């Protein structure tokens, strides 16, 4: 009998469960995406609006504690309006659009790089089917997206409620704001992540996938904004083609259509389209993007 038996032997050991394999794909992809010191710097830059607001109210509480409550109420209004304002500052194309660029740039190679380097065959050689692969990659994108949406939003909300002296029974009254923030973050994460995942599955080049994702997410909002600025034109219906307008209207509904009478910033993000229709459009785009991703991966030939 030869010392080295090179024939194929089926593995007879114990395999981990399906969700463990999916989680392994997600975490390994996430680690690759977040490798490098430049990513941390870019992450801080993308969260600059939220960081600025958080530091502003924190320093106000330290140096002018007697004025902080009146200052916060005058600038932001109630806690729900404050959170709604900060969320819209995060991805509004007229202000800071870096978080969307971050999500697109960091996640564009999630599937595209695997296709480019013929790594799909390596994944499929293991006890992993294509649905497991797609779910794992999608989870990794959603995890990355949470670092410019859910996590900084919750940090600001916690700081805001603490500095406003909200605790005990008052905190229970504001619990719905935390739930609304989580719901808004989930909607934004699924939307941005699914769009990027779709283009990554359709391309073999991460750069091309990133550029296409940014254009799709940014250009419609920019074009509709330019057209709407023309005097005398009544083109509110065009906002249904604007990504930022759709997300703003959807989040406005999730937060229970708050009033902006007592807020300086909140009025900048008033929605002029129906939120219920906006949510349906956003959810429809998420579903279509995921289905196109699945279709593309199942059509992909693996050598």
Question: CA 274 to CA 249: how far, in whole Å?
Answer: 7
If you write DSSP's letter for every residue of 258-301 in order, what string do you get?
---TT-SSGGGG---S-HHHHHHHHHHHHHHHHHHHHHHHHH--
The number of CA neighbours under 13 Å toward the Cβ of 152 is 26
Q: What is the pLDDT of residue 138?
A: 93
Domain range annotation of the chain: 18-299
pLDDT (0 to 100) of residue 287: 95
pLDDT on residue 96: 47
pLDDT of amino acid 88: 78
Distance CA 282, CA 288 (A): 10
pLDDT tens for each residue of 268-280: 566 778 888 889 9
Lowest mean per-residue pLDDT among 86-100, 130-144, 225-239, 278-292: 86-100
Cα 101 to Cα 97: distance, rounded to the nearest angstrom? 7
Average confidence score pLDDT of the chain: 79
- 3-state SS class at 95: coil
Structure tokens at 212: 């296409």
Closest CA to 111 of 212, 208, 205: 205
Say what the pLDDT of residue 1 is.
46
pLDDT digits (tens, 9 = 90+) for 55-70: 877 777 777 666 666 6
Distance CA 260, CA 271 (A): 11
Compute the residue count for the chain: 303
Checking if the pLDDT of 193 tops 50, the result is: yes
Tens digits of per-residue pLDDT, 128-158? Answer: 888 989 999 999 999 988 888 888 888 888 8
pLDDT at position 239: 76
Range of weakest confidence among 40-44, 69-73, 195-199: 69-73
The conformation of residue 4, written as its DSSP 8-state character, comes to: S
In whole angstroms, what is the distance from residue 111 CA to residue 117 CA? 10
Out of 21-30, 163-172, 177-186, which region has the weakest mean confidence (pLDDT)?
A: 163-172
What is the pTM assigned to this prediction? 0.83
| Biggest alpha carbon–alpha carbon distance for the chain | 89
Residue 93 confidence class, pLDDT cut points 50, 70, 90: low
Residue 110 structure tokens: 């999630």
């Amino acid at each position: 009998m030869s010392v080295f038996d090179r024939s194929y032997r089926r593995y007879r050991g114990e395999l981990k469960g399906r969700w463990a394999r999916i989680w392994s794909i997600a975490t390994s992809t996430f680690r690759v995406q977040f490798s490098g010191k430049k990513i941390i710097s870019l992450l801080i830059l993308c969260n600059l609006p939220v960081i600025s607001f958080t530091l502003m109210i924190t320093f106000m509480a330290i140096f002018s504690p007697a004025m902080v409550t009146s200052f916060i109420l005058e600038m932001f209004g109630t806690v729900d309006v404050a959170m709604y304002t900060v969320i819209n500052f995060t991805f509004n194309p007229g202000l800071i659009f870096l978080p969307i660029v971050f999500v697109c740039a960091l996640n564009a190679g999630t599937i595209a790089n695997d296709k480019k380097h013929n790594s799909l065959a390596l994944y499929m050689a293991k006890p992993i089917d294509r649905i497991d692969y797609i779910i794992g990659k999608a989870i990794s994108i959603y995890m990355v997206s949470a670092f410019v949406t859910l996590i900084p939003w919750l940090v600001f909300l916690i700081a805001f409620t603490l500095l406003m002296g909200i605790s005990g029974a008052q905190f229970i009254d504001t619990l719905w704001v935390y739930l609304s923030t989580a719901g808004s973050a989930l909607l934004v994460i699924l939307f941005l992540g699914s769009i990027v995942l779709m283009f990554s599955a359709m391309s073999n080049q991460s750069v091309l996938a990133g550029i296409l994702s940014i254009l799709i997410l940014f250009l419609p909002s920019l074009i509709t904004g330019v057209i709407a600025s023309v005097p005398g034109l009544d083109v509110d219906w065009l906002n249904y083609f604007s990504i930022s307008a759709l997300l703003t209207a959807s989040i406005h509904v999730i937060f229970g259509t708050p009033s902006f009478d007592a807020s300086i910033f909140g009025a900048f993000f008033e929605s002029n389209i129906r939120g219920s229709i906006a949510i349906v459009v956003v959810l429809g785009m998420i579903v279509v993007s995921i289905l196109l991703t699945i279709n593309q991966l199942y059509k992909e030939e693996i050598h």
